[in-house]
Structure 1
């Protein structure tokens, strides 16, 4: 009976976000082991959901599910989180008895004192189990990949969609590689080829554009000896010595793996200029949105997108909506302000509250916005994602509220405020708050590409704007310390 170990530490770190990510933020999202982890994600489109599905069709396999942890992207992970995770996971691996190991990692994790924790984990796991035990991993497409990963692992896979709606499929491919090795199959050879640049992720969607072309080309390479070939876009706001895009391939022949990884990396470099982006300011973006076609129009603030490590606290887009109130139904999603929620709870539904909104975490991105509105709705903050992204996964926002303001010129502005920071990219988020998107003209959301997974077809138009925030557009203005000297950084 094959016996495998499963462990997960999935976190995308924004080195320029002022709020560190401590253990509490992991515990509020995912901090589980054993049957609890498998039960929590059973039937979901996630990596651990894929593990459960894999085991269900292989009754002869036994899996020990070690610590599984994830947090929303945010500021650098606290050192004690990484140290604690390793202290839990490594001792069981050292005891031996496992025929293989599957790791669910991100690839763009950063910690307070470690700019490349994913590599630290791979090295530590390899040392713990030795060279004879196969170790495979799955990664997020935005991983900043160290070439050494291809030497430490026996196989790896990466998401092939952006928005990421194939987390489970990536895990399944990695588990298939593990099954092949555990069953006595020939070793696979891996290769990772970097490009000396940092790229914006705006034009990396899999539905079209330059990265979609690279994905299509990589898929054609998967024949003969090559079983996995895919690009990594990198994550621009993780200050890492391995920052930037890369090509990865796995094959039964080392030369074939290297050739495929090289071709993918070269295809990205050939399209470099097409990844650059300029965006209008919030005033112009609002004008464009209101002039858009009939139906629901989205106005996105990517600089404070939680999935890019944003804090859901920057005030610029809300300030424009308050100072230039549109004469239409508007929903603003969202602000992460636990104290604001508590004030609404104390006042109760139907009460009028006055509060400064935004800039509660930091004033670096502008001053708070004075706001006076009615507490329209209070919730417990729990829902289940409809998907397609992370379909079936439970979400806990903590207590939340909806504040409603009806300006004199007509229209209505509803502001959603939450106790915990989880991106507003799923229809269930809005259903929880009683929002009728069919009756909403403008949806102002702190989001970017992942928003499109569920809303590209629901919206008649999507407009992105350039606001100050932790994931700002001008990368060259950021104080990088670990990105190699000479790397091409947009804005410079």
Structure 2
């Protein structure tokens, strides 16, 4: 009867975001433990949903679910928030008696003082468990991971899709390696790290250079290879190990090491194909209006919440207000609790007049003067209906839709990400009647919307996840690693 512990800290830290991410950001999104954690995610396409299914199929296993926490990507996690989570997990592990442990991590967590927080977690969990217990983890594809993790783990796996629609599958693979290790069967790991930082625009799984390497990894995943995983890295996480790598687990150490090197070399050989250049918002808007008939998405990746954006930069909204396209346009979204309160005070149909954007910091441009009328108010809660985190609950807090002519702007009280059709259904927005959908998003948006859009156009606007890495004040990433091809 195996007895295992489970803990989760899923957070991607943008070292250049305007504000740190405090404990309430986690408590407001995911802060669960015990049976509640499994009940909340039962049947969902998430790591904890996979854990629940794994345990249901193995009634002889006993799992103690310690603190599970997640927040949307943002500025570095505050040291106090990290200490709260870490100390609670260590207290749970100190009760002892665990033969194994599963960690659901991101891989690109940074705190105010620790640029390698995931490695710190693994070290401290390993110390609390002792050398004989088996420890496995699952990671996001955008992890910035250290080779030192391999010697502390007994197995791991990584998302193999981008957009990430296989979170549950990654967890299931990690748990299968835990089961194998607990049975005394050999598992050896290797990680090959590339000394470079790449943007992730061309790392989607359906086509492109990373898709080719994923296919090579999948073809190699036959005995003695148990798991062949890739990391694309997170470009805005200022970590000593930022950037892509390949991780392999096998029955034989030599086989794991050889395949990890081969896959890393396959990424390096395609380096130039990861380069990207984007037009400014005004030019991107004109291209969107000239696109084929149907719904056109105009994306602002530099303020993408899933890259640590603040959902508050004004560049794209300024271009829309100045151009005032004569087509039905939706801008989603701005994270502005005070503006939502003003809309609530005005009530449906009431007048709304206040500057929008640039609330968090003026570094990315001043606010945009805005006048309109309140079209809708909601409580901001729904269940995902699309493929990414399918079935999981989402809470934007109270929201408002403000209309100015043919432009509607959605305002929210909390920062999440608009990557699911249920967001628009909640706000009474029929996308088949919309021509232009402006969104603070990047690749994850495509999971549910690529098939709905006649075109998806990205722009380069000022923001905490901006395209020009050379302009960012890195402290931990070696300078040579940032010498990527022009536009990368």
Tell me the TM-score normalised to structure 1 length: 0.98
SS at match of 2:425: helix
Q: CA deviation at 1:185?
A: 3.1
Counterpart of 2:140 in structure 1 is: 140
Residues 1:196 and 2:195 are matched in the alignment: yes
Q: How does 1:17-32 map to 2 (within 5 A)?
A: 17-32=17-32
Contact 2:35-2:65 within 8 A present in 1 as well: yes
Residues 1:462 and 2:456 are matched in the alignment: yes
The CA RMSD over aligned residues, in Å, is 0.9
Q: How does 1:62-461 map to 2 (within 5 A)?
A: 62-182=62-182, 184-406=183-405, 412-461=406-455
How many residue pairs end up in the alignment? Answer: 486
Distance in 2 (CA, whole Å) between partners of 1:86 and 1:470 is: 27
SS at match of 2:8: strand
Q: CA offsets per residue over residues 140-183 of structure 1, 9 Å max, x none?
A: 0000010011111000000000000000000000001111122x
For structure 1, the residue ranges without an aligned partner over 5 or more in a row are: 407-411
- The runs of at least 4 aligned residues of structure 1 exceeding 3 Å deviation read 488-492
SS at match of 2:355: strand
Q: CA deviation at 1:441?
A: 0.3
Distance in 2 (CA, whole Å) between partners of 1:326 and 1:91 is: 57
Q: CA deviation at 1:484?
A: 2.1
Contact 2:190-2:247 within 8 A present in 1 as well: yes
SS at match of 2:48: helix
Distance in 2 (CA, whole Å) between partners of 1:372 and 1:20 is: 31
Q: CA deviation at 1:81?
A: 1.3
Distance in 2 (CA, whole Å) between partners of 1:220 and 1:323 is: 51
Distance in 2 (CA, whole Å) between partners of 1:111 and 1:6 is: 22
Distance in 1 (CA, whole Å) between partners of 2:440 and 2:482 is: 27
- Range with greater deviation from structure 2 (284-293 or 154-163): 284-293
- Range with greater deviation from structure 2 (476-485 or 375-384): 476-485
Distance in 1 (CA, whole Å) between partners of 2:193 and 2:395 is: 37
For structure 2, the residue ranges without an aligned partner over 5 or more in a row are: none
Contact 2:195-2:481 within 8 A present in 1 as well: yes
Q: CA deviation at 1:485?
A: 3.7
Q: CA offsets per residue over residues 51-82 of structure 1, 9 Å max, x none?
A: 10111111111110000000000000000111
Contact 1:110-1:117 within 8 A present in 2 as well: yes
